[in-house]
Structure 1
Amino acid sequence: MTIETLSTTRSHGGTQSVCRHASDTTATDMSFAIFVPDHAEGAKLPVLWYLSGLTCTHANVMEKGEYRAACARHGVIFVAPDTSPRGEGVPDDPDSAWDFGLGAGFYVDATVEPWAKNYRMRSYIEDELPSLLLRHFPMADMTRQGISGHSMGGHGALTVALRTPDRFRSVSAFAPIVAPTQCPWGEKALGGYLGPDRALWTAYDACALIDGGARLPDLLVDQGDADTFLAEQLKTPLLEESCRKAGQKATIRMQPGYDHSYYFISTFMAEHVAWHAERLKRGR
């Protein structure tokens, strides 16, 4: 599998690139952003994945996330994939809704037509893109990975990590959808991509996974208390309750006055990068 470098830019003592490749998993071209700090020849750097939210591409966090200075300081590679397949022939919501279809892949492997052919973001994030990174970025130490994300991407980060706990040393999220089986965004997406059998949905619900015995080494969540999506869609108290009952180690911080935007994310991004770096540089 080959990749095409679309752009490279120097920033904060590192290189910000955008790459594209033909994906066997989604049957489309896929793009991702990657920031690689300067490093000695032959050095291996830990990898922090960042999964974006509804309507986003790799560009949102790349342009507004303010992660590069922290990643350069701590020597951490930052990888930001797209949120869904795109391109000619990829189905979209028939009503052009923003919370389903293009830009809203929800990091699931769809099983219902017409979504099943292309909407396979779970396998893309869990299997194909890590394999591509291993082959094309020799400085990436795939034995030291962390994952983070925002909103729908926070849901993705939590569920990917809970399903593959041996892969990640650190997990965090900004304003994640913590229980998509219990909120309108999640019920629409999971029902649309997976069909009406709600038993199939639990693999994509962080609270359900924790309630069912899945565990993380540690967890950091930041949530703004002025986020207009908090009560109906994000439901942070459900994650607090699941972690408390399960004895899951977690730091869940309600941040006064902050909303759902990248003003919020960028405020706490450097703290998240430093938190991940501390855990990624430890021995197991």
Structure 2
Amino acid sequence: MTVSPFTLIERHACCGGEVHFLSHRSETLGLTARVNIFLPEKALAGQTVPAVYVLAGLTCNQDTFLIKSNAIRHAAEHGLALVAPDTSPRGADVAGEDASYDLGTGAGYYVDATADPWAAHYRMGSYVRHELPALIEKHCPVRTEKRGIMGHSMGGMGALSVALGDADAWTTVSAFAPIAAPSQVDWGQKVTSSYFGGHEAEWGQYDPCLLLKGGRTHPGTLLIDQGLDDEFLDRLCPDALEKAAREAGQSLCLRRHKGYDHSYWFVQSFIQDHLKHHAEGLS
């Protein structure tokens, strides 16, 4: 019998299932990590269920997506578990990590930093891709043969890069207002200078547009929703993603919505479609 590495911090009944707030020591991050998981009724009854990993955006944490997106209600309807990791390592004590909203705490970008002093702990890329799924699938009642991933903004970028980078490991993928070409906008340029020590080539394994241009595609359809009143639209580059997908032969459903902004009110409006997309692909 294996001993679970997770410490239960809180447990809440929700939509017929339960939300568990967990912590564990991460070997990848070298720190204690926080992760929340929603387990639907079937999982509590002992059945294994498909899991969808949900990645939040800049300034957020492991609570944000589950609380603000209204995803749990629809996940419960489809019998899906939701796994919500933090957006960044916490407690790394890197000088300047709390100086701005778009670098450091709350801004891990789901990449592995390669430059000091960030490289020791800012390794959210490997954490989300490898360590976290392995732990969840070993110690929680979720299926191992199929998994999905979705995210919002920075988390949408992360979801796309994770799925395109290892298509065999992720069956379904979707995103809300993803940062589609991070290497080309100021958010990503800060990452280049800090996390990557100025080496632009490091973006090749994380930038969704660069991955597509490099021939990294996914066998499923990428479901993307984008608000046309999004205050960050010029930094998100949905047109560039559409062009890269078309040239790569990638199936893409990019839906543009008049009147919608970048907030979780936008996410709530279309989350039902995304959970249905994942449920159908993971069934």
Q: Shorter-normalised TM-score: what interval?
A: over 0.9
The alpha carbon displacement at 1:190 in A equals 2.8
> Hey, what does 1:220 align to over in structure 2?
223
> Hey, what does 1:85 align to over in structure 2?
89
> Hey, what does 1:167 align to over in structure 2?
169
Letter in 2 for 1:54: L
Kept after mapping to 2: 8 A contact 1:14/1:38: yes
Match status 1:53 vs 2:57: yes
Match status 1:186 vs 2:188: yes
Match status 1:21 vs 2:37: no
| Distance of 2:76 and 2:225 partners within structure 1 | 22
The alpha carbon displacement at 1:92 in A equals 5.2
Match status 1:72 vs 2:72: no
The alpha carbon displacement at 1:33 in A equals 0.9
Deviations 1:126-172 (A, max 9, x none): 111111102210x2002110100011111100001111100111110
Kept after mapping to 2: 8 A contact 1:147/1:161: yes
Letter in 2 for 1:63: I
The alignment partner of 2:167 has SS state of: coil
Kept after mapping to 1: 8 A contact 2:228/2:261: yes
Kept after mapping to 2: 8 A contact 1:92/1:100: no
From 107, 111, 123, the counterpart of 2:110: 107
The alpha carbon displacement at 1:230 in A equals 0.5
Kept after mapping to 2: 8 A contact 1:50/1:78: yes
> 94-103 vs 258-267, which deviates more?
94-103
Kept after mapping to 2: 8 A contact 1:37/1:76: yes
Kept after mapping to 1: 8 A contact 2:177/2:226: yes
The alpha carbon displacement at 1:42 in A equals 4.1
Kept after mapping to 2: 8 A contact 1:49/1:148: yes
Letter in 1 for 2:167: P
> Hey, what does 2:37 align to over in structure 1?
34
Letter in 2 for 1:73: E
CA RMSD, 1 decimal: 1.3
> Hey, what does 1:266 align to over in structure 2?
268
- Please, which runs of 5 or more residues in structure 2 have no aligned partner? none
> 237-246 vs 91-100, which deviates more?
91-100
The alignment partner of 2:217 has SS state of: coil
Deviations 1:9-32 (A, max 9, x none): 111111011100011111111001
The alpha carbon displacement at 1:271 in A equals 1.2
From 211, 227, 245, the counterpart of 2:213: 211
Identical pairs, percent: 43
| Distance of 2:150 and 2:137 partners within structure 1 | 19
> 112-121 vs 182-191, which deviates more?
182-191
CA distance 1:15–1:92, shift in 2 (3 Å): farther
CA distance 1:160–1:94, shift in 2 (3 Å): closer
The alpha carbon displacement at 1:95 in A equals 6.9
Paired residues in the alignment total 278
Letter in 2 for 1:150: H
The alpha carbon displacement at 1:57 in A equals 0.3
| Distance of 2:238 and 2:93 partners within structure 1 | 33
| Distance of 1:114 and 1:43 partners within structure 2 | 44
From 219, 229, 232, the counterpart of 2:232: 229
Kept after mapping to 1: 8 A contact 2:159/2:173: yes
The alpha carbon displacement at 1:93 in A equals 2.9
Letter in 1 for 2:64: N
| Distance of 1:153 and 1:28 partners within structure 2 | 21
CA distance 1:180–1:257, shift in 2 (3 Å): same
Kept after mapping to 1: 8 A contact 2:97/2:103: no
- Please, which runs of 5 or more residues in structure 1 have no aligned partner? none
Deviations 1:174-219 (A, max 9, x none): 0000001111101111331012221222111100100110011210
Kept after mapping to 2: 8 A contact 1:90/1:118: no
| Distance of 1:123 and 1:92 partners within structure 2 | 23
Match status 1:128 vs 2:128: no
